[in-house]
Amino acid sequence: MVYITFIPVLSILLLLSAINVVFSRRGPHHPRSEVSKTKHKVDEHISPQGHDIEHDLDKLGVDVDLDKMTEEDKQFYYFMVHDSDNNNALDGLEMLHAALHQNEHFTKADRDIFVQNATAELNHIIDVIDKFIYIADVNNDGYLYYPEYIKAINDNRMQEELEENNSNE
């Protein structure tokens, strides 16, 4: 019974958050601020780690063996699976859907905690996506094309490796 009331509550929270994003965030036609494009750490919301790509590809009728895929192949399929309008680019809403899709399997306790903390978690995810788009969107059109996306992911990996090597010294 709790599950039935969870769906409308979550839907309302997501709708309100989406409205907040639309009216309070910079869109693709607004000028960028003077904030420098510093490297930001990409967290679990942007990459296929922890994401069930195989399940998504099965739904699309694509049969692949993840064990034989390179990390770049996984990145490519993650990108393509979430390009819902098939324009070969990801926008903020598609990235938000991908991030929320990663968290779709909850236990009852997880759902209860999620509802209590949904606004904070959603704002965190939106901030991560906004920062990632800000850094990765080279042509400043508000969309991430695959070359922009993969370059930002790879730059982040190199940054993480450098930080890890520096902390080990």
**Tell me, what amino acid is at 136?**
A
**Tell me, what amino acid is at 55?**
H
Q: Calculate the alpha carbon distances from 30 to 26, 91, 108 in Å.
A: 6, 15, 41
- Alpha carbon 10 to chain centroid distance? 18
pLDDT above 50: residue 67:
yes
Other beta carbons within 10 angstroms of residue 49's beta carbon come to 11
Top-ranked range on mean pLDDT: pick from 61-65, 77-81, 139-143 = 139-143
Q: Residue 127 carries which DSSP code?
A: H
Q: What is the arithmetic mean of pLDDT over 76-93?
A: 90
Which of residues 44 and 63 earns the better pLDDT score?
63
What is the three-class DSSP state of 90? strand
Residue 132 CA to residue 160 CA, distance in Å, equals 15
**pLDDT 10s digits, 142-157:** 999 999 999 988 887 7
pLDDT at 140: 93
CB distance 37 to 134 below 8 Å: yes
Q: Which class would CATH give 42-168?
A: mainly alpha
Rg (CA), the chain: 17
Which of residues 67 and 16 earns the better pLDDT score?
67
**pLDDT 10s digits, 91-110:** 999 988 887 766 555 455 56
Q: What residues pair up with 90 in beta bridges, in sequence order?
A: 144
CB distance 76 to 146 below 8 Å: yes
Other beta carbons within 10 angstroms of residue 42's beta carbon come to 20
Terminal-to-terminal C-alpha distance of the chain: 54
Residue 131 CA to residue 45 CA, distance in Å, equals 12
